[in-house]
Every structure is written in C-alpha cells, then in structure tokens.
Structure 1
Amino acid sequence: MRNTSRSPRTDGEATRTRILEAAGELFAAQGFAETTSKAIAAQAGVDLASINYHFGSRSGLYQAVLTEAHRRLVDVADLQRLARSPAPAADKLSALIDRMVRNALSGPEKWHISVLTAELLAPSSHIQALFQSEIPLKASLVAAILSEITGIPEDEPALQRCLLSVIAPCLLLQIGRRGIPGPVQTMLQMPGAVLVEHLSRFAMAGLEAVSRDYAGSISRRREPGGHDAS
C-alpha cells in the first residue's frame, strides 16, 4: 500500500526533473525563442502534455528553468548557513565570492550559467520570475552579511548600493564566459584563489569606506543643528 501511494508522486517528480534538464540544455544552446516544446519533449522522452501538466506552458517551463538555474548558481540553504554561521563577516563575504568565482571558472559552461547569462544580457519579461521567487530572499541574506560588516541597516539605500557593487563583478565574470572581449578575459585567466582574494579585498575596502562615510553622516546629523538633532 505504501509503495503504491508514493510511486506516482516519485514518477511525476522524475518526469518533471527530466523535462527541466532537457529544457535547460536546449534553452542554453538555442535560446528561448528558438526552442520548441516539441524539441524539449523529444529530448526529455515525454509527450507534449507532460510539459503543460508540470509547467503550464513553455513560458512556465522557461521560468522554472530560470529559477532552477539561479538556485544552482547560489542556493538559498547555502546562503542561510553562511549568513547564520559564527564566522567573521569578512570571511562570510569571501566565502560567497569564492562560490560565485568557482561557478564562473568551473570548466565547460554548464547550462544554468548559459541560461542566466543570456537572460542578463537580454532580459525578457520572464526574469520577473526570479524577482518573485529567488532574488529577494537571497539578496536579504547577502545584505545581512554586508550590514554586519558595515554597521549600515539593511533597509538603507547605501547598503543596497553596496550589495550591487559587491555582486556585479561576480556577475560580470559569468557574462565574460560568453567570450566578451576586454579586461574580464584577463580576470578569467587568473587562478581562482588569486581572483577571490582580489575581489574580496576590493569589496572589503569599498565597504569599509562606505561604512566610515555612513558613520560620519550619522554623527553629523546628531550634532547640534544637524538634521536629526532634537
């Protein structure tokens, strides 16, 4: 009885995973516009109805692929463990940068990197799926680490700018994998440990400078005649 009740769900999960992997590979190789549901079904070894059953439509499948791709790039559970660990905040930031650099340097480009890079270079309306599912929680976890380093509250615009400044170079490495010429190619040739050290030191220097400016601005506001003075 127990095996019978669990088998359909297990089979369904396996089918969904097979479709997702096939779609990810095809979207990475051909792009969303050029990839048909028929081609995905053929590669996954399923019928067209299975795509609609599990994902609603080809657009729904693409959004699921984007979500899975972002999860493989940075997993929420990994970020939660990192943000909540007792390690110094600077070490947490270095570990995060290390994870993203290793993704960028990890041999032949994996489909999740290709799909995300293509979407970043030419964003479609489907990218909203990431802002609804993956990005908000992950951004808040990274912001918590940066807040710990800088002393700036997580909801302050200054910290949001820091978040973008820290993550942007790592995203640029992903985009550089597509062969875009320029300094990023030189960076991609660097040993991973050296690149992580460089990005971490650069990020920390910027965060420390912003932290000093923020602390100074708060102090000035509290002085007599300052904006926050009573």
Structure 2
Amino acid sequence: MNAKPTQPTPHDPSQPADDGRKPRSDGEQSRERLLQAAMRLFGEQGFSKTSTREIAQAAGANVAAISYYFGDKAGLYQACFTAVCTPVENNIALFDQPHFTLRESLRGFYQQMVAPLMAGADAEVLLRLFFREMLEPTGLWQREIEVNLKPEHMALAGVLCRHLGLEQPDERVHLLGYALAAMCLQMLIGRDVVNAITPNLMSGPEAITTWVEQLTGFAETLVLAEKTKLQQGKA
C-alpha cells in the first residue's frame, strides 16, 4: 500500500465535508461531471444566462467545486473548449504531409473536420457549444479563429499550392480552400436539415466515414479542375 501523505490533501468541495478523504479518481470524476454539465448548459443557454449554481446542481456537485477546479465561471467555460479542441498541430498533421497524395490530404482534412460527429451522443453537445459561442461571442471564438482555424486554413492553402504547382496561395487558392471546407460545414451546421431529408447520411460513424469518402472525391474533382484551368492559362 502507498504511504499516506505527510500533508493533508485539500478537501474536494464537490463532496460532503464529513465523508473522509476521497481517492483522486473521485475528484477527477467530479471535475468531469462539471465539464459535461457546463458544456450542455452553456451550449443550450449561452455563457451569460448559465449560472454556476445551475451547473453544480446538474453535475451533482457543490458550487464551491467550480472555484476549486476552474477558478470561476469564465475558467470553466474556457476549460470546456480546451477539453473538446484537438491541438491544431494534430489536426494539420492529418492532411499536411509532404508524401500525401492529393486524395490522402483531402481525406485527412475532412476527417479532422468531422471528428466532433464521431463523439456519438456527445456530438450534439460539442457542436452546440461551438455554435453558441459563434452566436454570442465571449472572445473565445476570435481566439479559436486565430489559434486553430487560421493555421488550419493556411496549411490547407499550402497543400493546395503544392498540388496545383504554385509557390504561394493567391485569392483563388484561398477561395478554393473555403469552398472545400464549406462542403463539410453544410453537413455540420445544417445537420438538422440533413437528418430530416437524408438521415442515413449521418446515422452513425460508418455512414459518416462513407460521407467523408464522397466529399473527398468531390473535392479532388474541384482541385483537379482548378489545376487544369491553371495549366491552360499558362499554355
């Protein structure tokens, strides 16, 4: 057995004071419950309309636990985004590799875009949290653009230049990059419409994987058509 610590461990305020010391795993579970409850409530109601008391009640924790784990409501909100965001370098690595074919790069690009949908029952919670921040920005959405979305777009532009035979991206390359992303964004943002019209397209991970392959084919056709235009323009 491990020796007891010489200093008393801080009391986890998410638990009653008289229940004795809890294993660390209990604290981790309390923190996770708070995160899950906060993501759902922030996504449904927005940051300003969601109280810490409401989050704690939904998580089955004490309000003081939010201060204990996250500092304050703003810290909890930030932690929600940190928990669901994959490091940008990991996303870029899925599609920006010098040895990738065009098709491999495009497939990787769409795979990282649809990753939230692979979260199963949590997918709705994750997407709603992001969309709520877009509608009622607190500053985190602008940070998301600068820290994640801009680097990913520039990496995609670099990939397109490599396959189009260009040294630097111009406006047409950027527009092409936006168009490629838009094909997938329609499925993410308009998923209620997609589910109402063609629910089989988003019925589960296997269906989403098939959808990624279809988008990859569409995107490859667009890029190759642009390459043909460029070559004809040089002739």
Equivalent residue letter for 1:210: E
1:61 corresponds in structure 2 to 76
Q: Give the Å deviation of 1:212.
A: 3.4
TM-score by length of 2: 0.66
Aligned-residue Cα RMSD (Å) equals: 3.9
1:189 corresponds in structure 2 to 200
Residue 91 of structure 2 is aligned to residue 91 of structure 1: no
C-alpha change, 1:166 and 1:25, in structure 2 (3 Å) is same
Q: Give the Å deviation of 1:29.
A: 3.8
d(CA) in 2 for partners of 1:134, 1:50:
30
SS at match of 1:189: helix
Deviates more, 1:162-171 or 1:57-66: 57-66
Q: Which has the higher helix share?
A: 1
C-alpha change, 1:188 and 1:45, in structure 2 (3 Å) is same
Unaligned runs of 5+ in 1: 221-230
Residue 213 of structure 2 is aligned to residue 202 of structure 1: no
1:163 corresponds in structure 2 to 177
Assess if the C-alpha contact under 8 Å between 1:79 and 1:138 holds in 2.
yes
Number of residues paired by the alignment?
211
C-alpha change, 1:202 and 1:173, in structure 2 (3 Å) is same
Assess if the C-alpha contact under 8 Å between 1:20 and 1:64 holds in 2.
yes
2:204 corresponds in structure 1 to none
Q: How big is each residue's C-alpha offset from its partner over 1:167-217, in whole Å with a ceiling of 9 and x where there is no partner?
A: 11212211223x2x3x67545523435422331222112222233334555
TM-score by length of 1: 0.68
d(CA) in 2 for partners of 1:157, 1:188:
36
Residue among 119, 137, 143 paired with 2:151: 137
Deviates more, 1:23-32 or 1:50-59: 50-59
Q: Give the Å deviation of 1:93.
A: 0.8
Unaligned runs of 5+ in 2: 11-23, 202-206
C-alpha change, 1:61 and 1:213, in structure 2 (3 Å) is farther
